[in-house]
A and B are shown apart, each in its own frame.
Chain A
């Protein structure tokens, strides 16, 4: 049973470009969570999704950020018109349900130049 997969592991974008981060949850997990870790800071919740539904996006910046978890395929975190302040590690986690243990992916390190 493969763990949570994230790709790419490293992503470099110029200011103004779009970044797409992918997360494939563990087999049998229908709940996906995205977290951001800014340099030298702690982890912060961004968004919680179930298949085809956004359950809680209270941690998402109001503009430029969106997330989806389609019926088929991975969850996508999309950042439009990236700025230097978006440079961070983005982690995805999955679980079989709410209040279950979450399993983390290896993260995507986004660098905006």
Chain B
């Protein structure tokens, strides 16, 4: 079993929909990253959080340390949000989930 599990693996949505991506982990962590990777492109760090909730534009990330669970929400989704979203937990190194491939159609 992977130490970091993401769901769903694949997600399609219509433009404007509210999207949630989930991440569960089984190890003790100091913080958690949400990363975005576009096809053929690099990796962008969206959030790093260790408690509570963070918001940036249409993106919201929450984490519950006791339940070892984090969620990434995208409000009013747009085709340019199409990418792979990766959850990574920080122990003494980064441990990555396998990613959620999101496609948003107009």
Residue numbers in A under 8 Å from B27 (CB-CB): none
Q: Which of B14-22, B38-46, B65-73 is the interface stretch?
A: B38-46
Cα-based distance from A35 to B98 in the complex (angstroms): 14
Residue numbers in B under 8 Å from A41 (CB-CB): 98
Cα-based distance from A80 to B101 in the complex (angstroms): 33
Measured CB to CB, the closest approach of chain B to A26, in angstroms, equals 12
Within 11-39 of A, Cβ neighbours of B (below 8 Å) are at 33, 35
Given contacts A42-B86, A42-B98, A42-B99, contact A105 B42 (CB under 8 A): yes
Q: In the complex, which range does the number of interface residues on chain B fall in?
A: 20 to 34
Q: Please tell me the number of chain A residues within 8 Å of chain B, measured between CB atoms.
A: 22
- The answer to whether B45 and A43 have CB atoms under 8 Å apart is no
- The answer to whether B96 and A44 have CB atoms under 8 Å apart is yes
Residue numbers in A under 8 Å from B43 (CB-CB): 43, 91, 104, 107
Measured CB to CB, the closest approach of chain A to B5, in angstroms, equals 11
- The answer to whether A106 and B45 have CB atoms under 8 Å apart is no
- The answer to whether A99 and B94 have CB atoms under 8 Å apart is no
- The answer to whether B42 and A33 have CB atoms under 8 Å apart is no
Cα-based distance from A101 to B50 in the complex (angstroms): 11
- The answer to whether B31 and A91 have CB atoms under 8 Å apart is no
Cα-based distance from A104 to B97 in the complex (angstroms): 16
A69 interfacial by beta-carbon distance below 8 Å: no
Within 80-113 of A, Cβ neighbours of B (below 8 Å) are at 91, 93, 98-99, 101-107
5 closest cross-chain pairs (CB), A and B: A106-B42, A104-B43, A101-B48, A43-B96, A42-B98
Which residues does B use to contact A, with CB under 8 Å?
30-31, 33, 35, 41-45, 48, 86, 88, 90, 92-99
Which residues does A use to contact B, with CB under 8 Å?
33, 35, 41-45, 48, 56, 58-59, 91, 93, 98-99, 101-107
| 14 CB-based A-B contacts, threshold 8 Å | A33-B94, A42-B98, A43-B43, A43-B88, A43-B94, A43-B96, A44-B96, A45-B93, A45-B95, A56-B92, A93-B94, A101-B33, A104-B43, A107-B43
